[in-house]
Copies of this chain bind each other. A is one copy, B any other.
Amino acid sequence: MLVKEKKVKKDSEIVKIAIAEGDGIGPEIMKATLKVLKAAGARIETESMALGEQVYLAGNSAGIEKNAWEVISRNKVILKAPITTPQGNGYKSLNVTLRKSLGLFANIRPVTALHPYVKTNFPQMDVVIVRENEEDLYAGIEHQQTEDVVQCLKLITRPGCEKIVRYAFEYAKVYGRKKVTCMVKDNIMKLTDGLFHNVFKEISQEYPEIKSESQIIDIGSAKLAANPENYDVIVTTNLYGDIISDIAAEIGGSVGMAGSANIGANVAMFEAIHGSAPDITGQKIANPSGLLNAAIMMLAHIGQSEIADNIKNAWLSTLEAGYHTADIYQKEVSVKKTTTDEFANEIIARLGNKPKKLSVSEMSKGSGTIQIPEYKRKVTKKELVGVDVFLDWQGSDPQWIGGELEKIKTHNLKLKMITNRGVKVFPDGLEETYCTDHWRCRFVALEAKIKRKIPVYQTIEFEHIMALLSNLNQKGFNVIKTENLYEFDGKRGFSLGQGE
């Protein structure tokens, strides 16, 4: 896989772009953005497609129709204005669908302070959040299986971790960033977040010129909120990234001004981070900066970094000159409250200018191209050593259910422990532990040595699990789910119960 991000100038190349005008202020800011791009000589050819509110309301619950998928397939690069998801149940998040269906594994959110034109407590802030975009809890796999308990699966994958962590380091290298910070919660989630952190440590070795550091997400979020200027590039999983990229945008003051990129192996999508703002739709006062910044990231991505720099510097110069849309108008620093179109014209008038106070954009001075190798799956020896069987049982005495389960005679399996919400309640639980109707019962091989400080498991066959399930069912236990227990190259691939 080669992520199509080039620094080489190819004058002749016209890049095809799929355009989604969006809803609300979308068409207004798209028009202004494309006007600026055209004036700056962006070598792009656009094709429009319909996404969003009208498609939803026409009865398509995903908000996107087949012909839009075809436009995306033809163009590969998408510039997308904000869309409106209608109120009510059954409408699916179009952004989630696009990100996941198109394999847009990386969400990139730069936040740079624009003080004093946009006020912030942190005028030195200049951080880029690289968020994993496809997996984690956002896989949305949820099951209610007892009256009390609902479950969502958090899925973290090695290919997902490798791609996003490498993207972060490649991004840092190509754009001249100095440090990448990893934020996860692997002190609690040792296998899932532990995998992300381990991959981070592995890949960071290949980039000795870039500083790397790791923080626990709770402390990291707090330190980001208090001292964002201490961060450069941050890489994290989907949910954490969602939270911290909103924090960064909010404290940097840039919610209405920032763009973001969603990068995949073959397709990339660029958009403003703000919404469709139906309250000011049609008034011609919307600030096009968010979408314009997305377009600037897009131009850099498709190898037109010099044009991207030119537009960015003209935009920064316009802010400095005091031509501001209503949302950022301040008496002290503004000279004129502009319409959307006037703002675009002021930017166009400043093409070729560079800002004097704000940092000059120099994306075209970077070197190298972002490259992400294909994931290579390792070959490991995987052995089945047990099963967690989850029961729906409305009783409350772990001793009783533990005793009953110990009595069950099945081919080759014995009960090791029972947990309730992760806490061991059998054997040797505490009476203070509150128990729901959701009991996780761990069975391992009869000959497994489980009394040792570090237990030694033994291989079992899937047929043994089948026999156990059948036996449990016959005895009236309500089996609601199973999780097999595996060792990989002899290493335990499952967590212990709390108190185990």
A interface, size bucket: 35 or more
Contact status B147-A156, CB under 8 Å: no
Contact status B499-A101, CB under 8 Å: yes
Contact status B470-A466, CB under 8 Å: yes
Q: A434-B159, A484-B480 are in contact. Are A223 and B250 (CB under 8 A)?
A: yes
Q: Does A126 contact B (CB under 8 A)?
A: no
Contact status B189-A142, CB under 8 Å: yes
Contact status B434-A105, CB under 8 Å: yes
> Of B93, B151, B432, B495, which one neighbours A154 at CB under 8 angstroms?
B151
Contact status B243-A498, CB under 8 Å: no
A466: chain B residues at CB < 8 Å are: 466, 469-470, 473
Q: A93-B187, A221-B246 are in contact. Are A149 and B157 (CB under 8 A)?
A: yes
Q: Kindly specify which of A16-24, A132-140, A284-292, A338-346 makes contact with the partner chain.
A: A132-140
CA distance A48 to B97 in the complex (A): 56
> Of B147, B195, B264, which one neighbours A158 at CB under 8 angstroms?
B147
Contact status A188-B422, CB under 8 Å: no
CA distance A434 to B164 in the complex (A): 14
A265-298 Cβ-contact flags toward B at 8 Å (1 or 0): 1110000000000000000000000000000000
Contact status B463-A152, CB under 8 Å: no
CA distance A219 to B96 in the complex (A): 17
Give A167-194 interface residues, CB cut-off 8 Å to B: 185, 187-192
Q: Does A34 contact B (CB under 8 A)?
A: no
Q: A93-B187, A159-B148, A421-B157 are in contact. Are A143 and B483 (CB under 8 A)?
A: yes
Q: Does A145 contact B (CB under 8 A)?
A: yes
A481: chain B residues at CB < 8 Å are: 481-484
A250-266 Cβ-contact flags toward B at 8 Å (1 or 0): 11000100000000111
Q: Does A39 contact B (CB under 8 A)?
A: no
| A253 CB, min distance to chain B CBs, angstroms | 8
